[in-house]
Amino acid sequence: MSNVNERIIGIIDFVRGCYEAQTRAFSAFEYEYLRELILKNKVTSVLDVGTGEGNFISGLAALTPDVMYKAVDADPELISSAREKHSAANLSFENILFDPAFASGNFDLITARFAVEHMKNVPEFISDAYTKLRSGGILMITEYFIDTSYAGNSTWKLFRDKELEFYHNIGSHPRISLALPKYLKDQGFCRVESVLRHVSPSTVGYIDFYNVIRSYANLYSAIEPGLWTEGLRQHILDYCDKAHADVTDREDVLFISQTMGRKP
């Protein structure tokens, strides 16, 4: 991604923790959804943009061994780690920018998972993806949606408010999901669909859910310590540690969107 936010590159230890936690927590619904999409549409080639260490895409590749996967990321350290961790005949990793110079591959499916929110020019990425898909190909974007209105207690509200402020401070898009359907249509995609997934301790389990929150707190503090102070980071970590015991009628909730469109 030539227009990726540079502030998320080069902090591999914290980014690694986020990728691993997200994969464990969200894959339960993502894998089955994408597997069915791949089989139903007879997909044979997939490009994964912003793959990180490849944790998620390697699992999907294992579920669909007849599909060829290419996974790319702008961070050379993450790609190096991906190559060390994952080896499969149908999966390759490249440290390459996704920009107009990226070779057109006639892909059946392009996926971008928690990557678009950090791009400077999202319509440009969608336009580039359009040119790299075959006719009938699919672009699938999975994104985080920061909702600050749903808070059952003061600590969770503090986490979401500071999370939203963090995204604004570093120039990323905390609610890009709301704009994606229009962006896809504007760039020529048809049959655009978007769904919002409810992610909570009840849907993914307490351990995996709060491990995601821990990984976010650590990442935010590493990038923006002036906002995400050590005191705030530790406050959120302590909250996660005791969340199992504090059963209430209103769970903590994250929202994940999945937006797709087809090239005519």
> What is the C-alpha separation between 86 and 235, in angstroms, rounded?
35
Looking at residue 1, what is its pLDDT? 42
Establish if 187 belongs to a structural domain.
yes
Q: Which residues contact 85 (CB under 8 A, 6 or more apart)?
A: 53, 54, 55, 58
Least confident of 13-17, 198-202, 259-263: 13-17
Structural domain tally of the chain?
Answer: 1
> Which residues form the domain of 20?
6-150+172-200+250-262
According to DSSP, residue 103 is labeled: P
Q: What is the CATH number of the domain that holds 58?
A: 3.40.50.150
**Better-scored residue on pLDDT, 245 or 190:** 190
- In the chain, the amino acid numbered 169 is N
Evaluate whether residue 223 is within a structural domain: no
Q: Is residue 210 part of a domain?
A: no
Q: Residue 221: its pLDDT value, please?
A: 93
The pLDDT score that the predictor gives to residue 44 is 97
> What does the pLDDT average to over 186-193?
98
- pLDDT of amino acid 9: 52
Which strand (E) or helix (H) includes residue 93? Answer: strand 91-95
Per-chain mean pLDDT for the chain: 90
Q: What's 179-231 look like in SS3?
A: CHHHHHHHCCCEEEEEEEEEECHHHHCHHHHHHHHHHHHHHHHHHCCCCCCHH
The pLDDT assigned to 13 comes to 65
Percent of the chain at pLDDT exceeding 90: 72
Name the pLDDT band for 193 (thresholds 50, 70, 90): very high
Q: Is residue 166 part of a domain?
A: no
- 98 found inside a domain: yes
CA–CA distance, 164 with 148 (Å, rounded to integer) = 8
Is the pLDDT reported for residue 4 higher than 50? no
The pLDDT of residue 8 is above 60: no
Say whether 150 sits in a helix, a strand or coil.
coil
pLDDT tens for 205-263 read: 999 999 999 999 999 998 999 999 999 999 999 999 998 766 666 789 999 999 999 99
CA 252 vs. chain centroid, Å, equals: 20
Residue 73 lies in a domain: yes
In a domain, 87, yes or no: yes
Predicted confidence at residue 5, as pLDDT, reads 47
Whole-structure pTM value: 0.90
Is position 162 within any domain?
Answer: no
Q: 231 or 118: whose pLDDT is higher?
A: 231
Residue 15, Cβ neighbours under 10 Å: how many? Answer: 23
pLDDT at 7 over 60: no
Q: What is the pLDDT of residue 263?
A: 97
Examine the pLDDT at 22 and tell me if it is beyond 80: yes
